[in-house]
């Protein structure tokens, strides 16, 4: 039997997949093996370091339950979630790559762990921020396709943390839904609702991933943002955020999710009449953002 040298081991593992029936699985696993072996060779990994890595992954798995997904957080903080989002969007929008800027689809970003299906379906203009910490903010704009045609009846899920950076799901086991809803655009593609101006906040950092960030000399914070998910028949689903332009950490988002095209200037207003006629007794802000969806066939 021929003895394998370090540089030949990855290929030997790949060769054992000769009978694999699934070409895509084989392609992915071959690349994984090749890169993992190259990594171990590059850093000349020691047995103690490999064991520390296995213990870290074990602890990451043990931290996971239906409310906490530490592996996704690991993927997020290593930039892999955002990379996969970008690859996926580039694939879907390949035909539109060279389109003029006003016909490019809205950029996608990470979904994060705080989407909670089944949020209340509310009328356009409803206030989901009342009673929560944070400055009131009015969000409005239009949903169109990349050619600028309005998309009526598009379903828009919105969710965010509060003005102190906490999501409803982080407020204990008995906390109900807050600061989240589902709206439908009107026939001209318009949407509007009231919420709060979201604050920056740390990703959950009390587990193994938080320990890793600390050891890397990194902070765990994300800049303030409002999550949006748009679903419309005949169009690709869009999962994205709009980011608050004066928020700290725009340049160092812990999960690498910021896209310049998603940063929105929130206009500050003194107490008084809001764009929808509502009379505000305290200062508020307004954020306008138009979304462009990719037709499914593109």
- Give the other-Cβ count within 10 Å of 198's Cβ: 31
Among 222, 243, 266, 289, binds ligand BEZ (CB under 6 A): 222
Which of ligand BEZ, Fe ion, none does 232 bind, CB closer than 5 to 8 A by kind? none
By CB under 6 A, residue 116 contacts ligand BEZ: no
> In terms of CB distance, is 144 or 221 closer to ligand BEZ?
221
Among 10, 14, 63, 73, binds ligand BEZ (CB under 6 A): 73
The residue to which tokens 């950029």 are assigned: 107
Q: How far is CA 96 from CA 105, 110, 228, 279, 297, in A?
A: 8, 21, 22, 42, 12
Tokens at 127, concatenated: 């206030």
CA 216/CA 192 separation, integer angstroms = 41
Contacts of 61-70 with C-beta under 8 Å, sequence gap 24+, read 63/207, 63/208, 67/169, 68/113, 68/204, 68/207, 69/113, 70/207, 70/208, 70/209
**Nearest residue (beta carbon) to ligand BEZ:** 112
Question: Contact letters (x/-) for Fe ion, 97-116, by CB under 5 A?
Answer: ---------------x----
Question: Contact letters (x/-) for Fe ion, 58-97, by CB under 5 A?
Answer: ----------------------------------------
By CB under 6 A, residue 224 contacts ligand BEZ: no
CA 74/CA 86 separation, integer angstroms = 17
Q: Which residues bind Fe ion (CB under 5 A)?
A: 112
Q: Which residues bind ligand BEZ (CB under 6 A)?
A: 73, 76, 110, 112-114, 203, 222, 255
């Amino acid at each position: 039997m021929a003895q394998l040298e370090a540089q030949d081991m990855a290929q030997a593992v790949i060769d054992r997949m000769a009978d694999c029936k699934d070409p895509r699985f084989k392609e992915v696993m071959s690349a994984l093996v090749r890169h993992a072996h190259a990594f171990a060779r590059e850093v000349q990994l020691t047995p103690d370091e490999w064991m520390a890595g296995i213990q870290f992954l074990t602890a990451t798995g043990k931290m996971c339950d239906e409310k906490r997904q530490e592996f996704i957080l690991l993927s997020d903080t290593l930039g892999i979630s955002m990379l996969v989002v970008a690859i996926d969007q580039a694939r879907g929008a390949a035909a539109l790559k060279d389109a003029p800027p006003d016909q490019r689809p809205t950029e996608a970003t990470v979904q994060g762990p705080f989407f909670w299906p089944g949020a209340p379906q509310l009328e356009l203009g409803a206030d989901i921020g009342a009673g929560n910490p944070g400055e009131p903010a009015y969000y409005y704009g239009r949903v169109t396709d990349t050619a600028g045609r309005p998309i009526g009846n598009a379903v828009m899920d919105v969710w965010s943390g509060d003005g102190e950076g906490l999501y409803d799901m982080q407020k204990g086991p008995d906390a109900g839904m807050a600061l989240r809803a589902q709206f439908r655009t009107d026939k001209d593609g318009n949407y509007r609702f009231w919420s709060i101006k979201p604050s920056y906040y740390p990703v959950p950092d009390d587990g193994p991933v938080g320990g890793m960030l600390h050891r890397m000399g990194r902070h765990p914070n994300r800049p303030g943002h409002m999550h949006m998910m748009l679903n419309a028949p005949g169009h690709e689903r869009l999962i994205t955020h709009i980011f608050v332009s004066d928020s700290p950490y725009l340049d160092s988002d812990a999960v690498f999710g910021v896209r310049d095209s998603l940063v929105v200037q929130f206009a500050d207003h003194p107490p008084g009449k809001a764009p929808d006629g509502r009379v505000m007794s305290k200062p508020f802000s307004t954020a306008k953002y138009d979304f462009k969806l990719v037709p499914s066939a593109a």
